[in-house]
Structure 1
Amino acid sequence: MNPAVNPSPSAPRPLLEDWTWQSRGSCRRAAPEVFFPEDAGRSGLRAREEQAKQICRRCPVLLRCREYALTVGETYGVWGAMSARERTRVFAEGA
């Protein structure tokens, strides 16, 4: 049997398929710094994270983006309207 025709269930999916959702993301129209804000004190960081989350909340791929970040264990930036701290809490709850 040709594995390219019938890959095993544990085989990784092609990268192109995994990333096509990103082309529809609202974040594509914003600077990367919006989603990966520098830490400038707690209130400054949270204000910048909130700016990114506002963009995320109107995004057509919000749930796919969040799923991706939680699946791969993304530890930086705002993904799917969740900050790195919020995702860390989700990871800890699942442990």
Structure 2
Amino acid sequence: MMRNSHDAPKTLQRPAWWGDKGVCRDQDPDLFFPDDWRRGPGKLDAIAAKRVCGRCPVVEPCLHDALERGETHGVWGGLDPDERLQLKYPAQRDPAQDPGGGEEAGDASQLLQEAVSV
């Protein structure tokens, strides 16, 4: 299915994009980009954003794109920047949080499941 480009005249078309199906499109963007996702009101926003991601049909492609782009801010694909770093650098993951002995520290689906079940 083709749709109009946002940046071009209505006569130009572009392929459908997975982001068009994102549940976050109907949410306040500030929810996904709190000033401090580690504490206070920002942490509550990050938790709420992850809950939105938990209902999203395109959470996996969202996370994949965020990892490819190296996003360093905001909740993408159900993960905050610290969680995305854990995927990128699994050796940095806290062994106390990894009951599997570190073998699956980089498992995106497990980390994603933990994040969206907050």
TM-score by length of 2: 0.59
Judged with a 3 Å threshold, the aligned counterparts in structure 2 of structure 1 residues 58 and 34 are, in CA distance, closer, same or farther, namely same
Q: Which of 74, 77, 95 is residue 77 of structure 1 equivalent to?
A: 74
Kindly state the Cα deviation for residue 49 of structure 1 after the two structures are TM-superposed.
0.5
- Corresponding residue number in structure 2 for 1:23: 20
CA-to-aligned-CA distance 1:14-72 (integer Å, 9 cap, x gap):
xx55x711111000000110100112862432211110000000001011101111122
Query: RMSD in angstroms over aligned alpha carbons?
Result: 2.3
Q: Percentage identity across aligned positions?
A: 37
Find the aligned partners of 2:63 and 2:38 in 1 and give their Cα distance: 25
Deviating above 6 A after TM superposition, structure 1's stretches of 4 or more consecutive aligned residues are: none
Identify the structure with the greater strand proportion: 2
Q: Secondary structure at the match of 1:39?
A: coil
Find the aligned partners of 2:41 and 2:65 in 1 and give their Cα distance: 26
Gaps of 5+ in 2: 1-13, 93-118
Gaps of 5+ in 1: 1-15
TM-score by length of 1: 0.72
- Corresponding residue number in structure 2 for 1:49: 46
Identify the structure with the greater helix proportion: 1
Find the aligned partners of 2:86 and 2:74 in 1 and give their Cα distance: 14
